[in-house]
Amino acid sequence: MSFLRRLTGPRCVVWRGLGVTPPDSHDGAVGLILRVGVALMPGGGRPLTGHTRTHTRRQHTDPADPVEVDLKRLDGEDTGIAEVLMCRHKARNALGHVFVSQMRDLVSALSHDSAVRVVIFRSLVPGVFCAGADLKERAQMNNVESDLFVHGLRSLMNQIASLPMPTIAAMDGFALGGGLELALACDLRTAAHSAQMGLIETTRGLLPGAGGSQRLPRAVGISLAKELIFTGRRVGGQTALELGLVNRATEQNQTGDAAYREALSLAREILPQAPIAVRMAKEAMNRGSEVDIISGMAIERMCYAQVIPTRDRQEGMAAFIEKRPAQYTGE
């Protein structure tokens, strides 16, 4: 990992392991922390050929708990796409203790899985993406327990947002409260026109507490976000597209998975691209959006420096010259 760290004073910055010349002192790139690195993908990536097969790996915190969150890896031409499956059928994927614990373990494992190039978050519960907080569990908590649980939810959403590869939320049904906060933690969102989404916490005497009050303004602008949060309004998929809340919206199909199909199509567009370059582009945009433009340019420069020595960059240049599709291995 490479880091940009401030030691002392407004102009004292140490540039470690970046392989680039430090910027001039007037460029404003002071006090930033950047987590970047070249060794993001292993060698030996398989060609994206053959028929698509799937297999599932379960993630449990406790073997006695039912499976509420699962992982499916696509194979064949879709190798590199992983699907996080939310399958708490009886409670409409409500964010209860077991669900959150299993999701946290799974996301933690994904964060270190360099074979995964794109992640899709989807629901196996018809008509629901995630219904938000488990109000039955929350009703049994005292004030301290409730605060600690919401802190854990916020931490989980930050884990999802920090995944190094692109993430897509496929909303084929209701995404309310914490369910929409989970989708907002993803990089991209697709929705069926029939989906309903909203940060409805003010209708329950609360405010969005798992990142929604921060991520919604960044997605749609602060004035519109205030309107949606103050009113607790729900919007459909088409309206969400017009507001900029989702990237793609589509009519629901007979099998009820139109948003997932749209997310898979989007993942397949990302999949052939150079994985280290994609991860560094995500890092540059995420970190750059948090700082001023001059500091953002410094972040872009550092991320760019990480892709220059990669074999994938050489493969991309060679493929262009030879007029053939590039075969990226993540090296």
Of 121, 157, 150, residue with least CA distance to 133: 150
What's the pLDDT tens digit per position in 42-67?
Answer: 333 333 333 344 555 554 456 677 99
pLDDT at 23 over 50: no
Which position has the higher pLDDT, 309 or 136? 309
pLDDT band of 15, cuts 50, 70, 90:
very low
Domains and CATH numbers, the chain: 3-42+292-322 (no CATH), 54-270 (3.90.226.10)
Catalytic residue among 178, 212, 288, 330: 178
Of 10 and 267, the one with more pLDDT: 267
Q: Rounded mean pLDDT of the chain?
A: 84
**Selected residue with higher pLDDT from 290 and 25:** 290
Q: Is the pLDDT of residue 21 over 70?
A: no
Q: What is the mean pLDDT of residues 72-87?
A: 97
- Burial zone of 33 (CB within 10 Å; 0-12 exposed, 13-18 middle, 19+ buried): exposed
State the pLDDT at residue 157.
Answer: 97
Q: What is the reported pLDDT for 138?
A: 84
Helices (H), the chain: 97-111, 135-138, 143-161, 178-184, 212-220, 222-231, 237-243, 258-270, 275-288, 293-307, 311-322
Which of 91, 133, 183, 249 does the annotation list as catalytic?
A: 133
pLDDT for the residue 10: 33
Highest mean pLDDT among 3-7, 147-151, 261-265, 321-325: 261-265
pLDDT at 26: 35
What's the mean pLDDT in 292-308?
A: 95
Residue 227 has a pLDDT of 97
Options 201, 262, 283, 331, the catalytic residue: 201
Q: What is the pLDDT of residue 259?
A: 98
Which whole number is the average pLDDT over 126-131?
95
Q: What is the mean pLDDT of residues 10-22?
A: 34
Predicted confidence at residue 133, as pLDDT, reads: 85
Q: Is 181 among the residues known to form the active site? A: yes
| Residue count (the chain) | 331
* Local structure of 15: helix, strand or coil: strand
The pLDDT of residue 62 is 67
What is the distance between the alpha carbons of residues 84 and 8, in angstroms, rounded to a whole number?
42
In the residue annotation, 322 being an active-site residue is answered as: no
Average pLDDT (189-218) is 96
Q: Of the candidates 6, 50, 1, 36, which has an alpha carbon nearest to the alpha carbon of residue 301?
A: 36
Mean pLDDT of 212-216: 97
Is 83 in the active site?
Answer: no
Catalytic annotation present for 331: no
Q: Which of the pair, 32 or 210, is modelled with greater confidence?
A: 210
The pLDDT-based confidence of 203 (bands split at 50, 70, 90) is very high
